[in-house]
Amino acid sequence: MRELILDDDRIFPTEPAARAIARRIFTEIRDLPLISMHGHVEAAVLANDQPFTDPARLFVVPDHYVTRMLVSQGASLESLGVARRDGAPVETDPRAIWRMFCAGWRYFRGTPSRLWLTQQLYEIFGVTVEPSLETADQLYEQIDAKLHEPAFRPRALYQRFGLEILATTDSPLSDLAAHQVIADSEWDGLVVPTFRPDALVHINRAGWKDAVARLEAVSGVETGDYNGFLAALRQRRAFFIEHGARATDHGHATADTTPLEPADAERIYRSALNGSVSAVDAAAFAGNMLFEMAQMSADDGLVMQIHPGVVQGHDPQVAATFGPDVGFDIPLPVDFVRGLRPLLQAFGRDPHFRCVVFTIDETTYSRELAPLAGVYPAMRLGVPWWFLDAPQAMLRFREAVTETAGFYNTAGFVDDTRAFTSIPARHDVARRVDATYLAQQVAGGVLGLDEAIETAIDLTVTIPREAYPPLKG
Amino acid sequence: MRELILDDDRIFPTEPAARAIARRIFTEIRDLPLISMHGHVEAAVLANDQPFTDPARLFVVPDHYVTRMLVSQGASLESLGVARRDGAPVETDPRAIWRMFCAGWRYFRGTPSRLWLTQQLYEIFGVTVEPSLETADQLYEQIDAKLHEPAFRPRALYQRFGLEILATTDSPLSDLAAHQVIADSEWDGLVVPTFRPDALVHINRAGWKDAVARLEAVSGVETGDYNGFLAALRQRRAFFIEHGARATDHGHATADTTPLEPADAERIYRSALNGSVSAVDAAAFAGNMLFEMAQMSADDGLVMQIHPGVVQGHDPQVAATFGPDVGFDIPLPVDFVRGLRPLLQAFGRDPHFRCVVFTIDETTYSRELAPLAGVYPAMRLGVPWWFLDAPQAMLRFREAVTETAGFYNTAGFVDDTRAFTSIPARHDVARRVDATYLAQQVAGGVLGLDEAIETAIDLTVTIPREAYPPLKG
Amino acid sequence: MRELILDDDRIFPTEPAARAIARRIFTEIRDLPLISMHGHVEAAVLANDQPFTDPARLFVVPDHYVTRMLVSQGASLESLGVARRDGAPVETDPRAIWRMFCAGWRYFRGTPSRLWLTQQLYEIFGVTVEPSLETADQLYEQIDAKLHEPAFRPRALYQRFGLEILATTDSPLSDLAAHQVIADSEWDGLVVPTFRPDALVHINRAGWKDAVARLEAVSGVETGDYNGFLAALRQRRAFFIEHGARATDHGHATADTTPLEPADAERIYRSALNGSVSAVDAAAFAGNMLFEMAQMSADDGLVMQIHPGVVQGHDPQVAATFGPDVGFDIPLPVDFVRGLRPLLQAFGRDPHFRCVVFTIDETTYSRELAPLAGVYPAMRLGVPWWFLDAPQAMLRFREAVTETAGFYNTAGFVDDTRAFTSIPARHDVARRVDATYLAQQVAGGVLGLDEAIETAIDLTVTIPREAYPPLKG
């Protein structure tokens, strides 16, 4: 049995002088509130405040970072308890799933999952031995017992984690009932929705027509033509703002933001409603909708978050069997310079508009994103996301963008997680990386320590608070 | 008030042993002459030798690195004194502009501008407090007073900086009168022109026909057909060589160098003269002209500098209002492997030809540029340029290219600046980066210290002297 | 005369604590057997076991890493003894070639060739002074004398190097006679063939029709139609497996793996046999053949190695004069996400299939290759290859892929060399880089030392043994 170790100096530079500086900087930001402006925890988790079911369903089944690594080494998604769309049986014994995970612990060496999992196990659940086939059952019992204690319910953890705000990701069709429950409760946590219209703007995806019909129903605005569709979306944005929303979120295959002529938009929209739309038209419509959404953001103040460049369901058989978000989404190269040009020309210098742009194509950091964010006042760089949300990748981000865009054209850290208990660990890693990067600047004689501390605090709380301001009085 | 600090060990590695080696290497190159073979200082500055006007017009207004960062944080170009093409009023009070700059000092943290500005303020102007809203007026007075002293005139600074040669960038239409004034003077500084024919080879840009007409006038060669056009360019190259030119410079959207059939070149040239040319033909003509220029370089010995991969005026409204070079030019991906192939096939092994290739698409370093420069004898890699002219980016350059191309297939540092007083600081940063890279090789046990010192000296003076040899007897 | 130094801590981190850890890890793997599963040494070298001719023909003439660097600095391939296809005279005096190499020693500073050459000279041949024009003749004599000793014959060196297995690269047309000689001998070295069908699948290359005719002859299977062609390839694969082959190897311009409809494959195959095939059809056929080969691998168990993204003979005049592999092959960007999709959809989760994917386009590491290998169980990442087979590039590989794919989705180091005596030095460098990367993880507090040692051993021997299992009983 190996001891589970959580080094208090983890991620910091190894050179002692730089390490001491990093530790000094980190001390100033370690316990600042967590501002979680972009994530995938369901509001219902905090509305219902029910205990988490079991260790496997907390740590393994819903976390595609974890399942994809085990799949890459030969496990089937079924054996990891991931539900099939056809209802065919999958593993339901959480102990069996947990054992597979523990047996594969070594596959996570060198990955951020290992860091996040270790910190959760150690700090939240008091685990002090490494997961392995031998220790699996013991750890299962230890964690499972904790999960039944009141202190491990979601709302208690929210407070323990020091969350200042938690943004969820929500369909425009949502009635935001869970958010309302939280708002009506005596609990004082802040959980705000985020407007994510993907299912409505990608007009050749399965279910789009149904979604439009539901949009009409929930908005009370007729969606039979393109202008009605836009008006209905505006109604939902206003509804989201009433419920505390501060931002929208957009997942697209490309960064294209070219507006269509109104007649063309109308024509494509109607042909989609009639059930036939070409892939080219659908792509053009999606780009057009990013432009329309930017216009709406310039009007209503919702911050626009853009996440382009992903092949969803790279293996279509997996997608058909298990649906999305099971680890088979793969990045693509993105052309931000030409893609964002229409949006930035129209709104890039508009003081009422703000967009935060994310990428998992790190080749664009120094060539495209930093030069763009380093001049357009409306644009901020989203910090590393998804596959790049890891110590070395985050350091590469700072190294590649800071020299052109500085620190103040980036946005704060976003944890982007489905795993509620991983939120503190994810912010902890990001804060350590920023402390490390700043410490190297101090040790390298190009930044003063007081400036570095000020910058660290700005990156941790000032910038995210300013980047996502409240819109509701 | 914060003290302005210029750490004498800035940029060096933080590990003490490696730092000591870097310092040792740097000692050998720190005071070597500055060879500035590529920049945008006007020859008139040294021909007239007039004092610089004021701190704002020295440090802020003409420097798009500085203005773009302030714009990204909400300043308008007008408020920074950048002239509008329509003559509409912009800020003219240099104290007001200087105050905006000082108030935004923190935005430059982590950028090379911060390094260059700090070194200029500290070493040239004796400033010892950090710019801020509070210190702005005091610094303004201090610098402004210096600017009126004879020791701060351009020629005196040229000597103080230890410049060995300063290359300007000039239109083929120029009469090089300022260069002639310098040559005729008793002052012994060396200021040479560089042949930059962009306005003549991009045949669909505004003003091209006028430029061709002026080419005919200044060259005395009829430009009514393509061969005349080429002959006129050759005449101007000869004229530049007479005035000391050693190189040409070429800014293109792509790296294409495909030659046209003479009849096609003739046809496109004539249709451009007649005022109608397609974008495709114009692009083909531009690629063809790189090939033609390579042929001329193989004939007359001017070193060919190629800078591809930029969208000029990404925001066309800004370009229309303020013109080029105000911070809205953005890099693009470049295909050097296929783009340069015609040129390299024809001239890449020609001992009379030399090209230096630059990029701001760093993804091409290890994949394209180092493999090409590592085999074609005529090709040298230009060192990091523009957005990449910064400590971490320059270190990435050495790390990405050295293992394939070594040190001796790179060209010397080029400062590429419009800001005359920033020249020493820019070379200082580059020399520190090279010392750091070499020190890491020595500390890592893969290079001897004596070899490292020899290499550092070669990179600093030997290689640039050899790369840009004098052509005039 | 400079001393030739081989620092025992070379490549390790410079920070003392991290260096001590790296040294500790390296101690555990330094002397483990060499598993050389991908290279270009001819089996005949070990079948015949003749002495190497002379220093120039051992170190310079056949090594395109060496000749390309000397060419980039002005040497001609003729002067380096590289044979011309037209039989025109080239330098034949090995002393003259050796002198050119020694005189150019400084050009190799910072390159892996310098590391490999230094280690070979120092460890194998006992050289203690640096190559230079002054020392060239002395070194020539010293090495040449050794080459005549029995201990410097190939089989003796194989044993001295600690090789466990050496895979060669062979045409499907080969009778594998040299492998048979080795198998029949009393010598117990293990030399296995690798099936490389490039000449048969690129149907528009010169000599393809002849190759198909020879395929029919050696296989005894009629190749007049596409199915016969496939059957003949299957026959050769079986023959290779009988002779110990464990893998295939595929060099392609792109990563396309799209299968053709059988009728289309038939049509294109027949038109190629008739001597006319378009470039588009040839490319489609090549992609189709990768798919077919994957199918065959799923059937017979040969591990499929894919090396896409190279322009062969970037300078066609050099290619016409000297043939391939003389340093003028240049990388291209590769699209693995869309290219490999058909192959991965069909075989990526097939437990009987294994592919190892290599690249020299490092921009794909974090964006494409790590995400793909981090989920598809059949796919492993080939370690850095060719231009990227160097300390800093290998470190970038680990930094870019580990956080997404971990260590256990990579394959073991492959030396990929034509230079037999460089094999130990190449593995030594790779082991030092892995020790360094792991040491940084330990020093950075994110991995335990015992885990790091276990991982280092796995990367060195466990993973390559598992990645390329024996197929013959």
pTM, rounded to two decimals: 0.97
Q: Which amino acid is at B326?
A: V
Q: Which chains touch B (3 or more CB pairs under 8 A)?
A: A, C
> What pLDDT is attached to residue A109?
98
A371 → closest Cβ in B8, B315, B387? B387
Q: Which chains touch A (3 or more CB pairs under 8 A)?
A: B, C
Contacts with C405 from chain A: Cβ below 8 Å: 72
- Binned at pLDDT 50, 70 and 90, residue B1 comes out as confident
Q: Using the beta-carbon criterion (under 8 Å), do B10 and A445 form an inter-chain contact?
A: yes
Q: If contacts are CB pairs under 8 Å, which of residues 302-341 in chain A contact chain B?
A: 335, 337-338, 341
Contacts with B363 from chain A: Cβ below 8 Å: 363, 367
C402 → closest Cβ in A111, A314, A332? A111
Top residue of B254, B330, B359, B369 to mutate, by most chain A CBs within 10 Å, is B330
pLDDT digits (tens, 9 = 90+) for A100-136: 999 999 999 999 999 999 999 999 999 999 999 999 9
Q: Using the beta-carbon criterion (under 8 Å), do B74 and A403 form an inter-chain contact?
A: no
- Note whether B349 contacts C: Cβ–Cβ < 8 A: yes
Q: Do strands B247-252 and B303-308 pair parallel, antiparallel, or not at all (unpaired)?
A: parallel
Q: Using the beta-carbon criterion (under 8 Å), do C315 and B399 form an inter-chain contact?
A: no
Calculate mean pLDDT across residues A450-461.
98
Calculate mean pLDDT across residues B458-473.
94
Question: E strands of B179-286, at which residues?
Answer: 191-192, 247-252
Is the Cβ–Cβ distance between A160 and A153 less than 8 Å? no
> What pLDDT is attached to residue C473?
62
pLDDT digits (tens, 9 = 90+) for B372-390: 999 999 999 998 999 999 9
> What pLDDT is attached to residue C472?
78
- Note whether A437 contacts C: Cβ–Cβ < 8 A: no
pLDDT digits (tens, 9 = 90+) for A299-314: 999 999 999 999 999 9
**pLDDT score of B473 more than 80:** no
> What residue spans define the domains of chain C?
16-49+154-467, 51-152
> What pLDDT is attached to residue B324?
85
Q: Using the beta-carbon criterion (under 8 Å), do A112 and C373 form an inter-chain contact?
A: no
> What pLDDT is attached to residue C324?
85
What CATH number matches the domain at A51-152, 1.10.2020.10, 3.40.50.620, 1.10.10.10, 3.20.20.70? 1.10.2020.10
What tokens appear for A184 in the block? 């009506």
Top residue of C364, C401, C403, C436 to mutate, by most chain A CBs within 10 Å, is C403
Query: Domain B51-151 in CATH: superfamily?
Result: uronate isomerase, domain 2, chain A (1.10.2020.10)
Query: Domain A16-42+161-467 in CATH: superfamily?
Result: Metal-dependent hydrolases (3.20.20.140)
Cα gap B404→C386, rounded to integer Å: 10
Q: If contacts are CB pairs under 8 Å, which of residues 354-373 in chain A contact chain C?
A: 360-363
- Looking at CATH, the fold of the domain delimited by C16-49+154-467 is given as TIM Barrel (3.20.20)
Calculate mean pLDDT across residues B275-301.
97
What CATH number matches the domain at B16-50+152-467, 3.30.420.10, 3.30.420.40, 3.40.1710.10, 3.20.20.140? 3.20.20.140
> What pLDDT is attached to residue B232?
98
CA-atom Rg of chain A in angstroms: 22
Q: Using the beta-carbon criterion (under 8 Å), do A9 and C445 form an inter-chain contact?
A: yes
Q: Using the beta-carbon criterion (under 8 Å), do B377 and C107 form an inter-chain contact?
A: no
DSSP assignments along A384-411, one per residue: P-GGG-SHHHHHHHHHHHHHHHTTTTBP
| Per-residue pLDDT tens digits of chain C, which is 473 residues long | 899 999 999 999 999 999 999 999 999 999 999 999 999 999 999 999 999 999 999 999 999 999 999 999 999 999 999 999 999 999 999 999 999 999 999 999 999 999 999 999 999 999 999 999 999 999 999 999 999 999 999 999 999 999 999 999 999 999 999 999 999 999 999 999 999 999 999 999 989 999 999 999 999 999 999 999 999 999 999 999 999 999 999 999 999 999 999 999 999 999 999 988 999 999 999 999 999 999 999 999 999 999 999 999 999 999 999 998 899 999 999 999 999 999 999 999 999 999 999 999 999 999 999 999 999 999 999 989 999 999 999 999 999 999 999 999 999 899 999 899 999 999 999 999 999 999 999 999 999 999 999 999 999 999 999 999 999 76
Is the Cβ–Cβ distance between C443 and A14 less than 8 Å? yes
> What pLDDT is attached to residue A272?
97
